[in-house]
Structures are given as C-alpha cells and as structure tokens.
Amino acid sequence: MPFHIMTLSRVAMPVSQAEGLKILERDQFCCRYCGLDGKASFENALVMSVDFVQPRARKGKKDPANLVACCRPCNTIKGTRVYKSFEDAKKYVLDRREQMRRAWEATRVRPAARAASA
Ligand SMILES: [Zn+2]
C-alpha cells in the first residue's frame, strides 16, 4: 500500500520517504489540487507525489505547512511559478486544467459532430 507508492516515487521526491508518507497520510492520499484519489487504483497511486506549495526553486521550505499531496499532472501544471498562497496555486492549477480539458474536448468532439451531420 503506502510503501509501494513511496517506493515508486522516491527518486523524484526531494523529501524523505517518511516525510512524504506523513504528508500523503495527512491528505488521505488525495491530490490537494484536483482531488484525485491516490488509493482508488494502482494507476492513481503511481502518479501521487508531494508538492512544495512554494517551490524549492523559490526557496520554499521543506515544512509540512508548505507540503501537500499532489498528483504529477497537477505538479507539472503548477510548475515553479510563485503563488500568494495554496489557494492561489490551487485556483491556477484548476483553471489551467479546465482550459486544457476544453482544448482537448474540442479536438475530440469535432470529428463526431462532422459524422453526425453527414
Ligand atoms: Zn491533481
């Protein structure tokens, strides 16, 4: 269970296994940005990670208050921008995800719409 998750993500994580596990347990293995449930499936477990709300690259501290459970897609979207707060970061990530979803849906719906009108 948790140990598999941590073992799989250990290499990419700047926090120790024990520290990361504490954060994931505190957040119930759910991404704090999009809500993805890391316990729902193996695939979900694979993408769970721990995120620095204020990025390390911006001198974010390795402190539980600055760490959240996070899926890799949200982590990638969030990047190393500086945010005023966790809520600010969450809003950015969710807005960006929504934009990306719309763009993806647009490319996907078109062929079907064309077929329906033919
Ligand atoms: Zn997420």
Q: pLDDT digits over 44-76, tens only?
A: 999 999 999 998 888 888 899 999 999 999 999
Torsion on CA atoms 83, 89, 91, 92, rounded to nearest 10: 80
- Residue ranges of domains in the chain: 17-109
Distance 31 CA to ligand 1 centre (A): 5
**Whole-prediction pTM value?**
0.80
Distance 114 CA to ligand 1 centre (A): 33
So what's the architecture of 17-109 in CATH? Orthogonal Bundle (1.10)
Distance 115 CA to ligand 1 centre (A): 34
- Phi, psi (rounded to 5 degrees) for 37: -90, 105
Structure token digits, residue 4: 């598999």
Under the banding of pLDDT at 50, 70 and 90, the label for residue 34 is: very high
Distance 118 CA to ligand 1 centre (A): 39
Torsion on CA atoms 63, 65, 69, 72, rounded to nearest 10: -70
